[in-house]
Amino acid sequence: MDGRTHTIESLKGAAATIIVFSCNHCPYVVKAEDALIAACNDYRAKGVGMAAINANDSDGYPEDSYENMIVRAAEKKFPFAYLRDETQKTAKAYGATHTPQLFVFDAGLNLAYSGAVAGLRDALDDLVASRPVRVPEIHAIGCTIKWK
C-alpha cells in the first residue's frame, strides 16, 4: 500500500520473515488480523520482517480491491507491508491456497514453517532462538484464494 514493488529480500528480517496470504473479506483473516499485528509488533525488534499479500480476484470480490486494501490497512494500522498480487503469480509460486496462510522463512530464506496462524509464535520463538522449528506445518484453515 506504499506504492512500491517489494521482493522477499526487501521484506527480509535478520532472524525470520513472515509472508501471509491475506485479504479483506475472509472472516478467518478478519479474526486473525489482531494476532498478526501483535506478532509483527512483538517480534520486529527480534529481527522478524513481515508482509501480507492479497492475491484474490477483485473483479469477483471487489472488497479485495487495491483501493479497499488501502482503507483496510489504514483502519487496522498494519505495521507490515500489505501487498497486492494482481497477477496471482506470487500466490501460485508459493503454492498458497487459503487466507490466511503463512509462510515463515529462516534467516537464510529457507522455508521453516507453513500453514495456520496458530503455530506462528512457536515457530518464531524457535527461529529467533536459532533452533529448528519443532512443528514446521499446521494445515491452514480459512477461505480459499479466489482465482481469476
Identify the pLDDT of residue 4: 82
Quick one: pLDDT at residue 123? 98
Contact present, 16 and 128 (Cβ < 8 Å): yes
Closest C-alpha to 113, from 91, 88, 139, 81: 139
* pLDDT for position 2: 72
What are the domain boundaries of the chain? 27-144
pLDDT score of 3: 77
Q: Cα-atom radius of gyration of the chain, to the nearest Å?
A: 14
Which parts of the chain sit beneath pLDDT 50? none
Question: What per-residue confidence (pLDDT) applies to 57?
Answer: 98
Q: Superfamily for 27-144?
A: Glutaredoxin (3.40.30.10)
Burial code (b: 16+ CB inside 10 Å, e: under 16) for 69-98 equals beebbeeeebebbbbbbeebebbeebebeb
